[in-house]
């Protein structure tokens, strides 16, 4: 198979990366790249949920298909469980 076909198959928007995905080369932490800090949306969401004291927390997380919404939420879940 060609290199382009292999690359195309790695970016399937119907199959999000998990928080523990072994192939981290596909994940781009764009906030860390831009800001150079750990104060990104994942940490802010996890911190807010952890501080809620068991009360229901609602956030709207939106964007086009394939941009990483589910992957980011998996990572928030991982931060809360660990």
Residue 53 structural domain? 3-17+27-81
pTM across the whole model = 0.58
Of the candidates 11, 45, 39, 40, which has an alpha carbon nearest to the alpha carbon of residue 27?
11
What residue has token string 């790249």?
33
22 in a domain, yes or no? no
12 in a domain, yes or no? yes
End-to-end Cα distance, the chain: 39
53 in a domain, yes or no? yes
Which tens digits make up the pLDDT trace of 17-65?
776 664 566 666 666 666 655 567 788 888 889 999 889 988 888 888 7
């Amino acid at each position: 198979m060609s290199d382009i076909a292999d690359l195309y198959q790695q970016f399937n928007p119907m199959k999000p990366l998990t928080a523990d995905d072994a192939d981290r080369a596909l994940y781009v932490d764009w906030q860390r790249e831009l800001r150079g800090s750990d104060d990104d949306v994942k940490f802010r969401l996890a911190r807010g949920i952890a501080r809620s004291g068991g009360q229901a927390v609602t956030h709207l997380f939106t964007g086009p298909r394939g941009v990483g919404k589910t992957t980011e939420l998996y990572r928030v879940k991982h931060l809360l469980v660990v």
